[in-house]
Structure 1
Amino acid sequence: MPSRTPHRFRRTAALLTAAAACLALAGCSSSESSSATPATPSASSGRDGAASGPSEPAGPAGSARPSRTREADRPGPVHVSIPSIGVRSTLMELGLNADGTVEVPPAEKGMTAGWYTGGSLPGTPGPAVLIGHNDTRFGRAVFHDLKDIREGAEVLVRDGAGTTLRFTVTGKETVSKKAFPTRRVYGPTKGSTLRLITCDGEFDAEGHPVDNLIVYGALA
């Protein structure tokens, strides 16, 4: 384990660099369809078809090609469920857009959440980031009720091998996309942690939500 620590922290530093550079997610407008302008991962809420955060989930990654934390070729997550708010969704893989922003699920797949592959693999040290829309131009989306989640709630993440990991919600916060807490979301953690991100708040002049809702969790 000790020998892997340096690599993990180098990856995290790269992620933070990228995220800081993309702090403006912009993608929740009806004119957008699959990606938002990076900033911090965010999912759309309201009128558009792409998630938005500060603009687009910003990925903490320094490279255009996301690097996932895999140990012993462990399979990635394929499903998430949150019993307390009725969420059940398969997970698509999300990387980075050409401009370095984090991808978000396309508007037409608003009821499907995504796992940012540039972050940690659920179950390994560090934050695993799941992004989902609040609403899209097609209507209510997968994380529409995320605002109602409470501390202590259970989030179940299943991987491709059928193993289910149980995370417990430790807190949540609504933040302005202009002041996204990059280090708090993407910074290194000793244990396996989880971040669920979607859009929140009022709409700006372009029809994009101005805030992000972030839910924090830890492996139970």
Structure 2
Amino acid sequence: MKKLIAFLALFIFSQPTFAEMNGKFIQKNNLFPRVQIHTTKGAIVVELDRSRAPLTVNNFLTYVINKDYNGSVFHRVERDEVNEKDFVIQGGGYDKEYDGMFERAPIFNESGNGLKNDMYTIAMAYQDSKPHSGTRQFFFNMDNNDHLNPGSDWGFAVFGSVVEGYETLDAIMKVETDYNEKLGYTFIPKEPVVILKMEVLKEPEL
């Protein structure tokens, strides 16, 4: 009995608690976990790439499993008017009032992983010109944005791609935007596009 109690105690205390839980424990042997993003415009499924961007994927999954993205919005829907093409849809960092949300520690920029900022990929955002300042904000490339790839300087780390829900992103891209005094930009949706919830999809059976 004592051995059983000792074993159970060891098992319990060796497991990550909810507070300690982070993305590296989620389907840890699956290099390509999938996440479904439910929005007020429809659903999107992204396939993440741990083989190329393990830090970024695990960081993203940490926010997902702790439900930190639930209730956040896509605050940036930007089109390149000069070249007359779509640019990016960015979100995950603000609530419906466009107030900033809780952030964990920033992560290393994995933009040199070989993945390109091609259309319908998901990438990590960072603040201003600080390449290693990414925390919770991410964006979808809505065109082949070659200028966001690394060159003589750091680029933006792509960590997955859309496999379902292209029409949802296309619908978001068409929303009306305007200047928002709180954020100080003109690419803010007039009617918030809300991320209702995110969930990690079941790992495919072999």
Shorter-normalised TM range: under 0.3
Higher radius of gyration, 1 or 2: 2
Compare relative contact order (CA 8 Å, sep 6+) and give the higher one, 1 or 2.
2
TM-score for both structures, normalised by structure 2: 0.27
TM-score for both structures, normalised by structure 1: 0.26
